[in-house]
Chain A
Amino acid sequence: MSAYIVSILTEGAIFGIMALGLNVIWGWSGDFDLAYYGYIAVGAYMTLVLTIGPPIAPAHYILGLQLPYPAAVVLAVVSSMAVGLVVGLIALRHLRGIYFSIVTLGAVYVMYVFAGQYVPLFDGYNGLSGLFDPMGDWFGLDYLSYQWFLMALCLVMFGLVLLFMWRLSGSRFGMALRTLREDERAAAAFGRDIYRLKLKGYVLGAGVGGFAGALFVAYLSAFNPSAWSPVEIIVLYSAVLVGGRGNIWGVVLGVFIMGIVVQESTRFLPEVPGHPQIVLALRGVIIGLVLVLFLRFRPQGLLPERRYVDPAPKLEPATRTA
């Protein structure tokens, strides 16, 4: 039983990091970015090719440097930020609204096709595997205790990312991003460099996504195109929406709720013998329905964005002009 809890918490922490990164781009900057999962994938793939050994035929992939895991994670994050920069440079220049969303959808599709089809890159549809218990041997952990270690690591990382987001949320940087979301023209009229600021937010989000991908791969020990399934993607976006875009606590709540929805919906659905995909498909319908219902009835999410509430001014002696 506790192994189940451990894996739930590990996945939840990783998912939480993903959602917090998406929140920067979608919640604060206000851009519905469909390329986001691509950055998670870049982080995952790059971590793999940097930690596993050189390719042995018939597998093909780049690099294979057998670097220690932490170093690989850093480089993986840099890679996803680089990809994010390229996409952002193109998409954020002139595009907003659905044009932006469509171009980012295109970007993620191109990434998906290349990862899945261009074999020399990440071994195409087979994907990569072989990252077993990273850093486990540093501490002499066996398989079972490693699960606990990974869970603790992911929870700590989640806590750190949450802390960063909390600081950014209340900072002038975070506020500046929000002014772009609220009214770009006014933001420019008051001195904000829209393009540059949005790019910063975008690359930051991509980096967080890449980081989540790096952790995700430690959990899965492998990654291939089937890990990019639409379900994962829709659940992620739903989490940010349902919980409350722009509010980091809302996002955490959303992850929690969607996690429950995903888990519990399968519990109560009937097993149909011989057709295993029906249960998954039913779950997909439910998740889609949750998304659509929230968009209709509560698009701002459960927890609205927090605003700075100025406390009542202390009464001062009458030195002010009447």
Chain B
Amino acid sequence: MSAPSFTPALEVRGLTKHFGGVFAVEDCSFVAPMGQVTGLIGPNGAGKSTAIDLISGFKLPDSGTVLFKGRALEGLPPHVIARFGLIRTFQAPREWPGLTVLENVVMANWDGRREGFLRGLAGLGRAQRAKAAEELAWAREILEEFGLTKLRNERAGNLSGGQKRLVEFARIRMAQPELVILDEPMGGVNPVLGERMALAIEAFIASGTSVIVVEHNLPFIERVTQHVIVMAQGTVIAEGPFESLRSNQDVIDAYLGELVHQ
């Protein structure tokens, strides 16, 4: 693997995590470039989801480090990492089902000053009310962008799987993180929505959000990514543009190995 010639958005070094004697992630290292879409692929059990959990603070690594915007993230709780600019989604869509679609998008934006309890009682100051109104208008625009305007007052829990994914994307658009990690966004989604998602991802990049996508759907990976990392058995086995990996023997072995073991 050649040294990266781009600015890293995220740098992972030697990440390791084991569960009761089994190494889910072992000495995993990679760099995700800024301003690009990086794919993270690999057979089942390769450790991709665990790696994401480790990076985003939902699990504690045994060792290793995660560098983001010049700061080490390992050991930090998820909400601190999120506030710092790294947001992730989950394998199943995790909307807030009892809230409306619009409420879901508005609440994607964390604002410590407006969310205090005393603020809640006293009400917002004039400047804050202006900000809130702006935020609401922006939320409406985002919903428009994703074609969710008609559903904005719907209970988010009533939506279909694909629609929930779109709500998730809308939330990310709202939060405007510097890096978003998408955990199998195409999972359980009608392939017809694939292009829409690809466009949404491109819109993320355009607005300054770097993207890491974990996916099993390889055509989708080919469509959206500029750089791909392949994991197998807890560690990175190959890196490079998608095309170059097609003929990479290690990659083929890893996937075939999965087929053989099934």
Contact = CB atoms under 8 A, between A and B. Distances in A.
Given A178-B98, A189-B89, A173 B116 contact: yes
Contact of B117 (A173, A179, A194): A173
A167 B117 contact: no
A310 B106 CA distance: 12
Contacts of B95: 183, 186
B140 A313 contact: yes
Contacts of A200: 117
Nearest to A313: B140
Nearest to B144: A320
A204 interface: yes
B164 to A, nearest CB: 11
B58 interface: yes
B101 to A, nearest CB: 9
A232 interface: no
B155 A307 contact: yes
Contact of B110 (A167, A178, A192): A192
A189 B171 CA distance: 11
Interface in A147-184: 164, 167-168, 171-176, 178-179, 181-183
Interface string B92-131: 0011111110110011111100111101110100000000
Interface stretch (B36-44, B65-73, B76-84): B76-84
B25 interface: no
A310 B99 contact: no
A174 B121 CA distance: 10
B56 interface: yes
A308 B102 contact: yes
B5 to A, nearest CB: 31
Given A171-B119, A179-B107, A190-B171, A307 B99 contact: yes
A192 B82 CA distance: 8
Contact of A191 (B58, B83, B116, B144): B83
B227 interface: no
A244 to B, nearest CB: 12
A309 interface: yes
Interface residues of B, number: 43
Q: Is the interface of A mostly helix, strand, loop or mixed?
A: helix
A75 to B, nearest CB: 21
A309 B102 CA distance: 9
A172 B115 contact: yes
B133 to A, nearest CB: 13
Contacts, number: 108
B173 interface: no
A175 B116 contact: no
Contacts of B109: 190
A107 B94 CA distance: 33
Contacts of B79: 188, 191-194
Contacts of B171: 190
Contacts of B117: 168, 173, 200, 204
A176 B107 contact: yes
B14 to A, nearest CB: 24
Contacts of B232: none
A96 interface: no
B90 interface: yes
Contact of A182 (B78, B98, B152): B98
A313 B117 CA distance: 30
A93 interface: no
A31 to B, nearest CB: 15
A252 to B, nearest CB: 19
Given A179-B107, A181-B98, A183-B96, A189 B78 contact: yes
A305 interface: yes
A310 B115 CA distance: 21
B243 to A, nearest CB: 32
A247 B152 CA distance: 21
Nearest to B137: A313
Q: Which 7 A-B pairs give the minimum distances between C-beta atoms?
A: A191-B110, A171-B120, A173-B120, A182-B96, A186-B94, A191-B82, A188-B78
21 contacts: A167-B120, A171-B123, A173-B117, A173-B120, A178-B98, A183-B94, A183-B96, A188-B78, A189-B87, A189-B94, A190-B107, A190-B110, A191-B79, A191-B83, A192-B79, A192-B110, A193-B77, A305-B98, A307-B153, A308-B102, A313-B149
Given A173-B120, A175-B106, 9 more contacts: A178-B99, A181-B98, A187-B96, A188-B77, A191-B83, A192-B110, A193-B79, A310-B102, A310-B152
